[in-house]
Structure 1
Amino acid sequence: MGFFEQGALVVTYCSIINGFCRSKTMDKAERLQQMADAGVQPDSITYNSLIHGYSTSVMWKESVRVFKEMSSSGLLPDCNSLMDALCKHGRIDSSKTYFFDSMLQKGPKPDAISYGILLHGYATAGCLTGINNLFNLMVCEGIVPNHHVFRILINAYSRCGMMDKAMLIFEEIQKQGVSPDSVTFVAVISTLCRMGKLDDALDKFNHMVDITG
């Protein structure tokens, strides 16, 4: 089979798989064996489509199976999408064990988005130990937190009554030269209001107006 014929078949299979995944008819979407029988090698888009389809259909065992097949073939899975799907269904430990830890060990290394997904999962579950450990790892790995990560931390500590810790995070943002966005300011202002520090909340509001316009 020529290069162009091979490419055209991959695109065709991928389109079919994507369509079935979107309609969550995963029994029809699974066409990896059919591709192999036809002498067509699935690409990363094909595998990632299947993994995402199984994840959104809450078919975790199948997601992991295809993930392992993809890794064995030397292709890089879209771990962030898988982690996000697992965390949204409360499977934070599975997200970390199967995908985040795999990225740490085999690559590609987790980025700020990867950390943000897992931190949000821990925050939703109210797991401060997980948040602290993961954030410390993020710092040790030299990953610069983005606004999303800072908001997660501020909201998580605030909800758990650790207002002082939330404010320390806000101060850390500015020390790193990151200008807080309006959503981060709202999180901080809400925290100060819960602490009863209304004058400080007003100061932060005025600061937000000056920066964001």
Structure 2
Amino acid sequence: MRSEGGLLNNAVKMFDALSKDDLTHEALQLFSQIKDKGHMPDVVAHTAVMEAYFNAGTGHSKKALKVFMRMLASGVVPNAYTYSVLITGLAADAKLVDAKKYVLEMMAKGMLPNAHTYAAVFEAYTRENKVDEAKELLQQMKARGFVPDENAVRDALRDKRGQVFRTVIGILFDKI
């Protein structure tokens, strides 16, 4: 078990390195080989491929969404990390309709987004000047039991300051 865990960790590191060097195709080949040999759970492989597309920069969200859809079609169940990768990537690419859809889907399956995930979504709404839509999403999330954590959000947004930071805090904690 230990060697398999080591293999998985090293494979993920190699995959990330290839993706960051804009060698996504090579990274996908690597994961395909590892997955075919049965050394990687399907949810991990699919999530890693999605993450690689999002890490490749804006404009790759369609490819990441296709991977997510293929994962679902093949019967693989996404976990909380899969949803976080998907939602954060979509928010970064200003795909707010999709980000909202998957936040609510995640919560419907009994998983709550972490502070980095929901802060990314509300930051994207703020950057797109869609404060009213952000407030609407927050109300839908609260209706499902969501309670934002101010300290965790401040930590998630620690590199952000100015109007975006103030607006996100204002939306989440009714300070507008």
Q: Considering the TM-score relative to the shorter chain, is it more than 0.5? A: yes
Out of 95, 101, 105, the position equivalent to 2:64 is: 95
In the alignment, is residue 68 of structure 1 matched against residue 32 of structure 2?
Answer: yes
- TM-score under structure 2 length normalisation: 0.66
Match in the other structure for 1:124: 92
In the alignment, is residue 190 of structure 1 matched against residue 154 of structure 2?
Answer: no
> What 5-or-longer segments of structure 2 have no aligned partner?
158-163
Contact 2:8/2:40, CA 8 A, preserved across alignment: yes
In the alignment, is residue 133 of structure 1 matched against residue 101 of structure 2?
Answer: yes
In the alignment, is residue 154 of structure 1 matched against residue 130 of structure 2?
Answer: no
Larger Rg: 1
- Higher-RCO chain (CA-CA 8 Å, sequence separation at least 6): 2
Aligned length: 158
CA–CA separation in structure 1 for the residues paired with 2:12 and 2:75: 16
SS of the residue 2:121 aligns to: helix
Q: 1:74 corresponds to which letter in structure 2?
A: G
- TM-score under structure 1 length normalisation: 0.57
Q: CA deviation at 1:112?
A: 2.5
Q: How does 1:156-175 map to 2 (within 5 A)?
A: 156-171=124-139
Q: 1:71 corresponds to which letter in structure 2?
A: K
Contact 1:122/1:130, CA 8 A, preserved across alignment: yes
Contact 1:112/1:143, CA 8 A, preserved across alignment: yes
Out of 90, 110, 116, the position equivalent to 1:142 is: 110
Q: What is the root-mean-square deviation of aligned Cα atoms in Å?
A: 3.5
Out of 122, 125, 149, the position equivalent to 1:180 is: 149
**Identical columns (%):** 20
